[in-house]
Amino acid sequence: MVNGIGTKIFSLIGACVSIASISLAEPLIDSEKGSLIVIGQGESSSLPEYAAVSVQVTSICYDSSRAAMSANAELANKILNVLNRYKKNARDEVVALGGMNVRQTETIYLGSASKVLCELKWRASNHLRIEMGSIADLPDLQDEILKVVDLATGVSPEQVAQTYAEIGQTSFQLYPETTKALRKEAQIKAYDDAKAQLDTFAKRCGLENLKLLSITPPEYRVAPKYSDMGFAAASSRTPIVPDELSVSAVWRFEWSFNPTSGCR
């Protein structure tokens, strides 16, 4: 009877894509109530396929909206020129997502003390981003960005009107088709893991009249994998390339069976 559900369950693989919250702390078996919860886990990995680098450009304390936008655009365009030089294939992309242009009071913190740089002056911002498949070129890209950014990085407590840029943490990604394939592989492994657990319970406990009550859509997670040395560096802002990107799946099945006096 257990094997008879295999085809039906496998027809769901690849279709169940919603995320469900699954508690791994739930009891697995209640012999007196005839309830069994099996949670299968699977994992599949691939090399990272592209890197994403973001740069935030901010202009603060300008007397007019136009002045803030002009100063922001000047630095943003210099950085965009660098990013565009690293577009090397059709899937690489450079985007500039302009932020809000607002009038506000700017306050900075120096240790435990605060300092008002300006009151009700103009702020403009720009968010720049590149997605690049040539991961090996990442160090060169960052060096070039820093040549521009180092001239205008961080808020200066000694200036009022100023424009600066900050590089965000580099992220490493998989293309959608790769993620989809890895999810499918991980889900199949999670099913196999759950079935192996079920078979063990059924044989060891002599479970009778097993019925599948519910299947919770799988929960997926993508996480980088590093060697020991790489993990230490990855915890900083140093863009260490992961050894792999792992896609894991957790799949929950609930069964009923004829209550028994116990299972040991």
In a domain, 264, yes or no: no
Reported as type and span, the H/E element at residue 182 is helix 176-205
- Helix, strand, coil % in the chain, rounded to nearest 5: 30, 40, 30
Phi-psi region of 209 (alpha: psi -120 to 50; beta: other; left: phi over 0): left
CATH number at residue 15: 3.30.110.170
Give the pLDDT confidence of 28-75 residue by residue, as tens digits.
888 888 999 999 999 999 999 999 999 999 999 999 999 999 999 999
Best CA proximity match to 181, nearest among 18, 46, 39: 46
Best CA proximity match to 186, nearest among 126, 247, 125: 247
Give the pLDDT confidence of 13-27 residue by residue, as tens digits.
333 333 333 444 345
Bridge partners, 220 (sequence order)? 249
**Overall domain count for the chain:** 2
Report the percentage of the chain scoring pLDDT > 70.
83
The domain boundary residue, chosen from 173, 190, 216: 173
**Residue 153 predicted with pLDDT over 80:** no
Q: What is the average pLDDT across 111-134?
A: 95
What pLDDT is stored for residue 264 in this prediction?
59
**Pair (113, 8) in one structural domain:** no
**Pair (18, 83) in one structural domain:** no
Count of Cβ atoms closer than 10 Å to residue 197 Cβ = 18
**Pair (65, 168) in one structural domain:** yes
**Pair (112, 130) in one structural domain:** yes
**Pair (244, 231) in one structural domain:** yes
> What is the secondary structure of 72-90 as a DSSP string?
HHHHHHHHHHHHHTT--ST
The domain boundary residue, chosen from 145, 173, 201: 173
The domain boundary residue, chosen from 139, 173, 207: 173
Count of Cβ atoms closer than 10 Å to residue 107 Cβ = 11
**Pair (28, 80) in one structural domain:** no
CATH number at residue 59: 3.30.70
Give the pLDDT confidence of 243-257 residue by residue, as tens digits.
999 999 999 999 999
**Pair (158, 226) in one structural domain:** no
Range of the domain at 72: 50-173
